[in-house]
């Protein structure tokens, strides 16, 4: 779509969101954007009859205040990593990228992005949840679950602020998941034990076909190498595995290539999973006439989650595991299984 306005051409700001440092930082960076005052982000974000995909062609930014709850327990769709205290939080809603397999397009009525500017409320509630937990395992918190924070780090320094926060807190394990090649935006921050940087990687043909706007594989690999060099805990996510024609050899060659460029011994761990989605989100996306073959495969409904039929799914996971265990200790490979 060539005749659209650039992303962030319009910034909608809740009346109560003025005065926060994130708001001021955005407003000073985007002086040429149209600023429109609103009462509550929901009056624009939650409107009915919006077109998610068209809005993605010219994404607007909404600056708002998050009201409770600030942390949510992770769903069964996410790997739990042996942590009973798994949570996610949403400093930002929606993402600069537009991957075909992303659940966000079925979860939200709008393709615009919301940035919650009251960071301190998130931090205070995280401390509160840490204190409230009933066992001694650390609180596992994914902060980039409904977005890709690192992709926006040059616009808004949310990863930086959360990493700095995590340094001062014990019993917190932060995960920042990304497809970005922008590790450089935080490379000046010393690594810390409380943060895992996770990169999602897919073979180039899959990335080109299904990960619209996301950076090429090469730049993600470069970011991973830099992060490892700087001492960060790095997780690599091969998730979702997409079972295109001859996926077995595609992924086998892909892993061989990846682990020539990244030393497997220096990776914190790896996660794998097949394409899966909440049934309601899937139906909503399909109703929008999405032009992706992913939505025309035969899936099995397993307790509200659509995925490949169990037998086939197990086969895929086993084969991917088998391939990965050529490079990694099996304890380092985590998988999503219903």
What are the Cα distances from residue 265, in Å, to 91, 175, 198, 203, 241? 32, 20, 16, 21, 22
Span near other proteins by CB under 8 A; candidates 115-123, 156-164, 194-202, 287-295:
287-295
Q: Answer yes or no whether residue 49 interacts with other proteins by CB under 8 A.
A: yes
Q: Does 301 interact with other proteins (rule: CB under 8 A)?
A: no
Residue 47 in contact with other proteins, rule: CB under 8 A = yes
Binding mask 70-89 for other proteins (x = CB under 8 A): --------------------
As a whole number of Å, the CA-based R_g of the chain is 20
Query: Which residues within the stretch 2-21 sit at the binding site for other proteins (CB under 8 A)?
Result: 3-5, 9-10, 12
- Asked if 101 is part of the footprint of other proteins (rule: CB under 8 A), the reply reads no
* Strand 333-335 with 269-274, pairing: parallel
Q: How many amino acids of this chain bind other proteins (CB under 8 A)?
A: 28
- In whole angstroms, give the CA distance from residue 306 to residue 280: 9
Among the residue ranges 45-53, 147-155, 273-281, 328-336, the one whose residues contact other proteins (CB under 8 A): 45-53
C-alpha 54/C-alpha 177 separation (Å) is 25
The token duo for 115 is 């940035």
Decide: is 57 part of the binding site for other proteins (CB under 8 A): yes
**Span of 53-61, 76-84, 137-145, 178-186 interacting with other proteins by CB under 8 A:** 53-61
Q: How far apart are alpha carbons 102 and 280 in whole angstroms?
A: 13
Return the ∠ at Cα 316 (arms to 275 and 147), rounded to 5°.
Answer: 25
Tokens of 203: 């073979």
Does 293 engage in binding with other proteins (CB under 8 A)?
yes
Regarding 46 and contact with other proteins (CB under 8 A), the answer is no
Q: Is the peptide bond before 264 cis (omega within 30 degrees of 0)?
A: no
In order of 32, 184, 299, 300, 335, the CA distances from 311 in angstroms are 54, 42, 12, 10, 15
User: Interacting stretch for other proteins, rule CB under 8 A, among 118-126, 209-217, 296-304, 314-322?
Assistant: 296-304
Task: Determine if 179 is a binding residue for other proteins (CB under 8 A).
Answer: no
Residue 202 neighbours by CB distance under 10 Å: 26
Residues of this chain, 135-154, that bind other proteins according to CB under 8 A: none
Tokens of 5: 């306005």
Examine residue 297 and tell whether it contacts other proteins (CB under 8 A): yes
306 is an interface residue for other proteins by CB under 8 A: no
Using the rule CB under 8 A, is 226 a contact of other proteins? no
Binding window for other proteins (CB under 8 A); candidates: 22-30, 48-56, 183-191, 268-276 = 48-56
Quick one: which H or E segment has residue 96? none
CB 204 within 8 A of CB 172: no
31 binds other proteins (CB under 8 A): no
Angstrom distance (rounded) from CA 249 to CA 12: 47
Q: Which residues bind other proteins (CB under 8 A)?
A: 1, 3-5, 9-10, 12, 34, 36, 38-39, 43-44, 47, 49-51, 54-55, 57-58, 289, 291-293, 296-298
């Amino acid at each position: 779509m060539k005749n659209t306005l650039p992303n962030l051409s319009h910034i909608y700001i809740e009346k109560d969101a003025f005065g926060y440092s994130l708001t001021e930082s955005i407003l000073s960076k985007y002086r040429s954007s149209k600023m429109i005052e609103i009462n509550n982000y929901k009056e624009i974000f939650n409107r009915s009859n919006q077109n998610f995909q068209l809005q993605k062609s010219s994404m607007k930014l909404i600056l708002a205040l998050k009201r409770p709850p600030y942390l949510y327990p992770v769903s069964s769709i996410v790997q739990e990593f042996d942590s009973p205290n798994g949570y996610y939080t949403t400093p930002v809603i929606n993402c600069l990228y537009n991957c075909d397999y992303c659940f966000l397009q079925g979860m939200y009525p709008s393709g615009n992005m919301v940035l919650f500017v009251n960071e301190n409320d998130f931090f205070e509630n995280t401390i509160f949840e840490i204190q409230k937990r009933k066992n001694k395992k650390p609180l596992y918190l994914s902060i980039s679950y409904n977005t890709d924070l690192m992709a926006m780090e040059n616009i808004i320094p949310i990863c930086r602020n959360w990493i700095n926060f995590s340094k001062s807190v014990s019993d917190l394990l932060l995960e920042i998941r990304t497809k970005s090649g922008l590790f450089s935006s935080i490379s000046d921050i010393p690594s810390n034990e409380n943060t895992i940087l996770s990169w999602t990687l897919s073979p180039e043909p899959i990335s080109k076909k299904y990960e619209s706007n996301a950076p090429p594989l090469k730049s993600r690999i470069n970011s991973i190498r830099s992060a490892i060099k700087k001492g960060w805990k790095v997780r690599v996510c091969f998730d979702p595995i997409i079972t295109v024609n001859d996926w077995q050899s595609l992924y086998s060659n892909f892993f061989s290539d990846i682990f020539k460029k990244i030393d497997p011994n220096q990776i914190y761990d790896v996660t794998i999973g097949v394409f899966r989605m909440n049934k309601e989100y899937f139906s909503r996306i399909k109703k929008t006439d999405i032009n992706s073959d992913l939505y025309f495969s035969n899936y099995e409904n397993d307790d509200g989650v659509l995925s490949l039929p169990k037998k086939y799914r197990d086969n895929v996971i086993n084969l991917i595991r088998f391939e990965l265990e050529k490079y990694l200790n099996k304890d380092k490979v985590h998988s999503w299984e219903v």
